[in-house]
Amino acid sequence: MQNADTTKYIIHSKISADGIIERPDIVGAIFGQTEGLLGSDLDLRDLQKTGRIGRIEVVVNAKAGKTKGTILIPSSLDKVETSILAASLETIDRVGPCSAKIEITHIEDVRATKRQQIIERAKFIFRGMFDENLPESQEIADEVRQSVRVEEMQYFGKNKIPCGPAIFDSDAIIVVEGRADVLNLLKYGIKNTICVGGTNVPPEVAELTKKKDTVTAFTDGDRGGELIIKELVQIANVDFIARAPDGKSVEDLVQKEIVRSLRQKVPVEQVIDKYVIRDQAAPSDNGRISRVTKRKERRPAPDVKRVGASQVPRPSREPRARDNRKNEPREEREEEPQTEQAVVPKSKIPSSPENKRFKGHATDLIGTFSARFLDGEDNVVNETAVRDLVSTLKDYEAEVKTVVFDGVVTQRILDIAADKGIECLIGAKVGSVTKRPASVKVFTAASL
Asked if pLDDT for residue 74 goes beyond 70, the answer is: yes
| Residue with the larger pLDDT of the pair 264 and 338 | 264
Asked if pLDDT for residue 45 goes beyond 90, the answer is: no
Q: How many Å apart are CA 198 and CA 225, to the nearest integer?
A: 9
Q: Which residues make Cβ contacts (< 8 Å) with residue 37, sequence separation at least 6?
A: 88, 91
Distances (CA, A) of 359 to 13, 210, 338, 350, 374: 102, 39, 25, 11, 13
pLDDT recorded at residue 344:
42
* Pick from 36-45, 145-154, 205-214, 349-358: least confident: 349-358
pLDDT level of residue 137 (50, 70, 90 thresholds): low
- Rg (the chain; Cα; Å): 47
The mean predicted confidence, pLDDT, of the chain is 79
Which domains, and CATH codes, for the chain? 9-113 (3.30.70.260), 145-275 (3.40.1360.10), 299-343 (no CATH), 347-447 (3.40.140.20)
Asked if pLDDT for residue 383 goes beyond 60, the answer is: yes
* Pick from 48-52, 352-356, 386-390, 428-432: least confident: 352-356
pLDDT recorded at residue 107:
92
pLDDT recorded at residue 353:
58
* DSSP character string of 221-280: SSHHHHHHHHHHHHHS---EEEEPSTT--GGG--HHHHHHHHHT-EEGGGGHHHH--TT-
Cβ atoms 403, 426 nearer than 8 A: yes
Mean per-residue pLDDT for 4-27? 87
Q: How many Å apart are CA 424 and CA 404, to the nearest integer?
A: 8
Mean per-residue pLDDT for 102-109? 92
Mind listing the pLDDT tens digit for each residue in 234-276?
888 899 999 999 889 999 999 999 999 999 999 888 877 777 6
Using the Cα atoms of residue 58, residue 62, residue 67 and residue 70 in order, give the sign of their dihedral. Answer: negative
Give the pairing type, strands 161-163 and 98-109. unpaired
Compute how many other C-beta atoms are within 10 angstroms of the C-beta atom of residue 441. 21
Q: How many Å apart are CA 111 and CA 414, to the nearest integer?
A: 86
Mind listing the pLDDT tens digit for each residue in 345-356?
433 444 445 556
- Nearest to residue 58, comparing CAs of 83, 92, 81? 92
pLDDT level of residue 281 (50, 70, 90 thresholds): very low
- The phi, psi pair for 105, rounded to 5°, reads -90, -50
Asked if pLDDT for residue 303 goes beyond 60, the answer is: no
Mean per-residue pLDDT for 155-177? 90
Q: At what angle do helices 137-152 and 179-187 cross, to 10 degrees?
A: 120
- The phi, psi pair for 17, rounded to 5°, reads -130, 155
Q: How many Å apart are CA 282 and CA 256, to the nearest integer?
A: 40
Mind listing the pLDDT tens digit for each residue in 390-411?
888 888 888 899 999 998 888 8
pLDDT recorded at residue 306:
36
Cβ atoms 98, 26 nearer than 8 A: no
pLDDT level of residue 144 (50, 70, 90 thresholds): low
The DSSP 8-state label assigned to residue 40 in this structure reads G
pLDDT recorded at residue 110:
87
Buried b (16+ CB within 10 A) or exposed e, 370-392: bbbbbeeeeeeeeebbbbebeee
Asked if pLDDT for residue 324 goes beyond 50, the answer is: no
Collapse the DSSP code of 339 into the 3-class scheme (helix H, G, I; strand E, B; otherwise coil) and give the result: helix
Which helix (H) or strand (E) segment is 173 a member of?
strand 172-176
Asked if pLDDT for residue 15 goes beyond 70, the answer is: yes
The DSSP 8-state label assigned to residue 53 in this structure reads B
Mind listing the pLDDT tens digit for each residue in 204-227?
998 999 889 899 999 998 888 888
316 alpha-carbon distance from chain centroid: 64
Mind listing the pLDDT tens digit for each residue in 23-32?
999 999 998 8
* Pick from 61-75, 150-164, 178-192: least confident: 150-164
